[in-house]
Amino acid sequence: MTARILDGLKIRDEIFAELKDEVRLLTSAGVQPGLAAVLVGDNSASQLYVKSKIAACEQLGLASALLTPPASVTTLEMLAIVEDLNRDNNVDGILVQLPLPPQVDAKRILEAVDPAKDVDGFHPVSLGRLVSGRPGLVACTPAGCMEILRRSNIPIEGANAVVLGRSDIVGKPMALLLMHANATVTICHSKTRDLPDIVRRADIAVAAMGKAGFVQADWVKPGATVIDVGTNTIKDPSEAERLLRNFPARLEKFRTKGSVLIGDVHPDAVNTAGAITPVPGGVGPMTITMLMSNTVKAARLRRASPRVSATQSTASAR
């Protein structure tokens, strides 16, 4: 039997519909949520991501601003940009697109973002709130994985969850979110011993280590839920043939296009899992969705908060 497909595009549409209503309500109360994106240099992947983020803002009725400092920007110049955005009351969310050029101290920039506007969830204060189970802004990709699980009615409480990958952006926050939802969590990484056996115990497996087709179909417990965070572009024909030998239509498409997107889970796992996120169209669309959700949440929390004084609001009104 093949797995139930957890459709990220459908879940995105559901959340977008909810967000649209909330944005309409906030805007009619005089608070139009706004996102500011800082895109440095001319990295084409980053340009594409940021363009999609701005388009999502427009679709939902959020205000957006795009700042594009040159690739030669210094740490001090970036700090000044972030400080300006921190002070601007119309900006609810600040997104500094990564990677930053090597001369810029990325950690320092991310730490300069006002935690109340940290819609990427990368600030140490946001991470600290997550660790201690306090409400706050959570990194978008792991938050999106949780939305997929919840909205698909996958039981989490008491489940054995295995997270593959320990990055600050996905693996670590994902493990914390699952733990707070009362799963029993195991975190695996490149030095983990007996990985296949550990994955075989998982009721929920989250693959986020950035290796194409790494999790084999026979590592997946029959009926388990698999969340595949990986997005790897494969261009090598022999690798594509190895991964897609049981998917002739996808292989044919690869031959026409010259590349294919493959997750961290082998495509054959669709025959062992009970439910699985496809790549593309699973976790991918959820990242931008949760960025929008975080921006609306930040607007709601910050602008309803007494920390924003009347003088501040007036001073930055344009």
- By CB under 6 A, residue 287 contacts ligand GUN: yes
- By CB under 6 A, residue 289 contacts ligand GUN: no
User: Binder to ligand GUN among 67, 80, 98, 217 (CB under 6 A)?
Assistant: 98
Strand pairing category for 232-234 and 260-262:
antiparallel
- By CB under 6 A, residue 36 contacts ligand GUN: no
- By CB under 6 A, residue 279 contacts ligand GUN: no
Stretch that binds ligand GUN, among 1-9, 10-18, 96-104, 208-216 (CB under 6 A): 96-104
- By CB under 6 A, residue 293 contacts ligand GUN: no
User: How many angstroms separate the Cα of 154 from the Cα of each of 161, 242, 275?
Assistant: 12, 31, 9
Query: Which residue lies nearer to ligand GUN by CB, 205 or 291?
Result: 291
Count of residues near ligand GUN by CB under 6 A: 7
Cα angle for residues 168, 5, 211 (degrees, 5° grid): 40
* 305 dihedral zone (left: phi>0; alpha: psi -120 to 50; beta): beta
Minimum CB distance to ligand GUN, residue 216 (Å)? 27
* 182 dihedral zone (left: phi>0; alpha: psi -120 to 50; beta): left
242 CB-near residues (< 8 Å, 6+ apart): 213
Beta bridge partners of 64: 35
- By CB under 6 A, residue 170 contacts ligand GUN: no
Stretch that binds ligand GUN, among 72-80, 95-103, 129-137, 181-189 (CB under 6 A): 95-103
Binding site for ligand GUN (CB under 6 A): 95-98, 120, 140, 287
